Structure 1
Amino acid sequence: MNRNAKALLDTGLTSALADALGPERLRCGVPLAPYTTFRIGGPADLFFEARTPEELARAITVARQLGLPYFLLGLGANILVGDGGFRGLVIRNAARAFRIHPATHRLWAASGAIVYPDVIEAAVAAGLSGLEHYVGIPSTVGGALWQNLHFLSPDRSRTMFIEEVFLEAELLTAEGERRTAGRDYFRFGYDYSVLHERDDIVLSATFQLAPADPARMRAVMAANLAWRRERHPPLETEPSAGSIFKKIEGIGAGRLIDQCGLKGTRIGGAEITHRHANIIVNRGGATAADVRALIALAQEVVERETGYRLEPEIAFVGDFGPPPA
């Protein structure tokens, strides 16, 4: 157990949290790297895995009542966790349940359900279309709504957004209320939803799908997966957090980085991959400090040579100081 977790124990906060969530379920000093797609990150002082929407709501509510800092962790994509870990409670959303309602062509899913392969494969097997475009993108249902999950069609004719098939979600609001909210409430945009501004938590979501030929949907899935394989490093062998910098309309952050000759640039175990200049991969043993230094280098070079300032898209979570002893 690290000193930070012990300090929390000494305050009595951990005891109160354990009483509410179950002492056998609350863990101390859990390394976060295995729970992120970057495979980077120090330990969480406290760690709880919520297996149902009800457990998720209870964990969030108790943390808020105790005034305990918390972070909700899904699949760990699009984030960089600091080498010092997280000071407080990490709640991993493992509420994976989902079900299909054939009569209404709707799919209900807990917010921790994995979009691909779990939810998409079930929808396609049931002959329901609308989600097949998002294959290969690491995300939970809650994460998909947070960022308005999107995919540029292989023929580059248009970008498809998860909002197009989203019907409603059950939320635990920032004010502590449970309510159902529709599409208008989320104010979806490109890489955006109202969840960026409000501390609302998605507990579950319902999607309105449409009957379609499974063979046609699988052809779409195959094409999209092939497109991603050509341009994105495989997470299994080249861990990453996806695109590092926000899109620059009409130019592209990756194109600017490429123009500056930064593909292949490496600091420690972190490298700007040759496959996609807007992706940094963990070549083995990369630290959050390595990634931050490489991000700063790319920003400095691109701004000096092109005049554009790159803005990070990923979230920086936790303590970026030295790891706790």
Structure 2
Amino acid sequence: MATTVATHTIDELVVRLGPALGGRIRRAEPLAQYTTFRIGGPADAFVDVTTADELADAVLAARALQVPYFVLGLGANILVGDKGYRGLVIHNVARRHRFLPDAAKTTCELWTESGAVMQDLILEAVERGWSGLEHYIGIPSTVGGAVWQNLHFLSPAPERERTMFIAEVFERCDILSEENERKTVDADYVQFGYDDTVFHHRRDIVLTATFRLERGDPDRMNRILHENLSWRGARHPWLQVHPSAGSIFKKIEGVGAGRLIDQAGLKGFRHGGAQISPMHANIIVNRAGTATATDVRELIAIAQRAVEEKFGQRLETEIGMIGEF
């Protein structure tokens, strides 16, 4: 039986966060609607934060009261348990941003709060003629998620010769550290790696980020947008039709997990309402919106067993498992 955060503790959160933010706290809020998987039970407490200051305040309040918390952006790359989340879910919709060109208007700093949606920023940057973000079109992510994961995609067609990382345009970010200190940090602190940063290993919270963009050719940038969207659309199931969390498993020694799952004969395999996508075997989809977190977890285990039996390799998940299952 799930153990909820005590009602009096949530009442204390409301008081600590004050009339403005505390008044927004919702109880027993279903989380499925906030994830790209469209799966997940209720959070004991849930609050929307609309500025970086509100995000910091909510985290500090949860820490002070020792309430478990989770910062939620677009809800990609996670699976929320059917029993929900025992604690406070902080929904980050802090989306203010500014384009700050240099005097010569050849480069531009983009300052943005961490809840801004990458796709929105990409389209605005291209419209303004600033290049550097267009490579990541079509990947569901907020700015915070992009920095946390070191968002990446292949370099432009036709070569597709290397992986391009958000670290290449990153300048700095403002964080709330796990020691409750607000400070500005650079790439040396962030320690960008492949699907990895310091934020995987410390309970720091990204509040804002600054990227450096360059004046770009509009025709080339729009070509990249269309080619990348077409490339992804031909290989990945559409979230609007088949909700998913993106890639489920990490690569093994450079070999894509999807290839191993496909060769194990599981492409298109169904379990309950969950299915290994017929388009991409490293993606599990929520067919017709009927999958539960239990369906997905069991299908993950089926894929792991099949690959281990056939290849002697153990697949490791790369999505976050959030809440109670």
Matched to 1:180, the amino acid is: T
Whether the 8 Å CA contact 2:74–2:140 is kept in 1: the answer is yes
Structure 1 residue corresponding to 2:194, chosen from 176, 190, 196: 190
Mapped partners of 1:282, 1:136: distance in 2:
19
Instruction: Structure 1 unaligned segments of length 5 or more: list them.
Output: 321-325
2:12 is aligned to 16
Where do 1:10-159 residues align within 5 Å?
12-21=8-17, 22=19, 23-103=22-102, 105-116=108-119, 118-153=120-155, 154=157, 155-159=159-163
Task: Tell me which moved more, 172-181 or 19-28.
Answer: 19-28
Superposed displacement of residue 97, structure 1? 1.1
Whether the 8 Å CA contact 2:2–2:83 is kept in 1: the answer is no
Mapped partners of 2:218, 2:129: distance in 1:
5
Secondary structure (helix, strand or coil) at the match of 1:105 reads: strand
Superposed displacement of residue 93, structure 1? 0.5
Mapped partners of 1:145, 1:159: distance in 2:
16
Superposed displacement of residue 250, structure 1? 3.3
Mapped partners of 1:15, 1:84: distance in 2:
22
Mapped partners of 2:117, 2:167: distance in 1:
17
Superposed displacement of residue 114, structure 1? 0.2
Mapped partners of 2:30, 2:16: distance in 1:
23
Q: Per-residue displacement from partner, 1:165-198 (whole Å, max 9, x unpaired)?
A: 0000000000000000001101100000000000
Mapped partners of 2:73, 2:232: distance in 1:
21
Task: Tell me which moved more, 148-157 or 219-228.
Answer: 148-157
Superposed displacement of residue 251, structure 1? 2.0
Structure 2 residue corresponding to 1:313, chosen from 297, 318, 321: 318
Superposed displacement of residue 24, structure 1? 2.4
Mapped partners of 2:198, 2:2: distance in 1:
36
Over 3 Å counting, the alpha-carbon distance change for 1:3 and 1:318 in structure 2 is: closer
Superposed displacement of residue 70, structure 1? 0.5
Matched to 1:176, the amino acid is: N
Q: Pairwise CA RMSD of aligned residues?
A: 1.3
Whether the 8 Å CA contact 1:4–1:45 is kept in 2: the answer is no
Whether the 8 Å CA contact 2:2–2:324 is kept in 1: the answer is no
Whether the 8 Å CA contact 2:36–2:239 is kept in 1: the answer is yes
Q: Per-residue displacement from partner, 1:207-256 (whole Å, max 9, x unpaired)?
A: 01111112210111111111000110000010000000001233211100
Matched to 2:12, the amino acid is: A
Whether the 8 Å CA contact 2:49–2:93 is kept in 1: the answer is yes
Structure 1 residue corresponding to 2:229, chosen from 215, 218, 225: 225
1:281 is aligned to 285
Over 3 Å counting, the alpha-carbon distance change for 1:232 and 1:3 in structure 2 is: closer
Matched to 1:127, the amino acid is: G
How many aligned residue pairs are there? 315
Mapped partners of 2:206, 2:284: distance in 1:
29
Superposed displacement of residue 20, structure 1? 2.7
Whether the 8 Å CA contact 1:39–1:239 is kept in 2: the answer is yes
Matched to 2:317, the amino acid is: P
What is the identity percentage for the equivalent residue pairs of Structure 1 and Structure 2?
60
Mapped partners of 1:216, 1:311: distance in 2:
37
2:275 is equivalent to residue 271 of structure 1? yes
Secondary structure (helix, strand or coil) at the match of 2:6 reads: helix
Superposed displacement of residue 4, structure 1? 5.4
Mapped partners of 1:30, 1:112: distance in 2:
20
Mapped partners of 1:156, 1:310: distance in 2:
26
Secondary structure (helix, strand or coil) at the match of 1:299 reads: helix
1:323 is aligned to none
Superposed displacement of residue 156, structure 1? 2.5
Superposed displacement of residue 122, structure 1? 1.3
Mapped partners of 1:305, 1:248: distance in 2:
14
Secondary structure (helix, strand or coil) at the match of 2:238 reads: coil
Structure 2 residue corresponding to 1:179, chosen from 176, 183, 187: 183
TM-score between both structures, scaled by the size of structure 1: 0.95
Matched to 1:15, the amino acid is: D
Instruction: Structure 2 unaligned segments of length 5 or more: list them.
Output: none
Secondary structure (helix, strand or coil) at the match of 1:40 reads: coil
Matched to 2:319, the amino acid is: I
Matched to 2:260, the amino acid is: L
